[in-house]
Amino acid sequence: MYFEVHGFVQGVGYRYFARKKAQEYGVTGWCRNTANDTVEGEAQGSEDVMQKFFEAIGKGPSSADVTKVVKEARDVVEGESTFQVRR
């Protein structure tokens, strides 16, 4: 699943928060800052853990102010085993 997080999400540790939540829930994928001040990424896991993951990143760390998370279905990426913060 592709996602893009809008709001005050850069410079507040948001990507590392997302990685921590992904590790807690067993979600694989990646995230990175974009040029338009959002955070985008790709995540995959079972339906129940994805629900928990998106609930968590919809709130973000206390220093962030998430206004919306846009999600788009994507094909599963074979061979992913971790969740990475990309630059």
CA dihedral sign, ordered 23, 87, 54, 64: positive
Each residue of 61-74: pLDDT tens digit?
Answer: 999 999 999 999 99
Catalytic residue set: 15, 33
Domains for the chain: give ranges and CATH numbers: 2-85 (3.30.70.100)
Each residue of 19-45: pLDDT tens digit?
Answer: 999 999 999 999 999 999 999 999 999
What global pTM score does this model have? 0.95
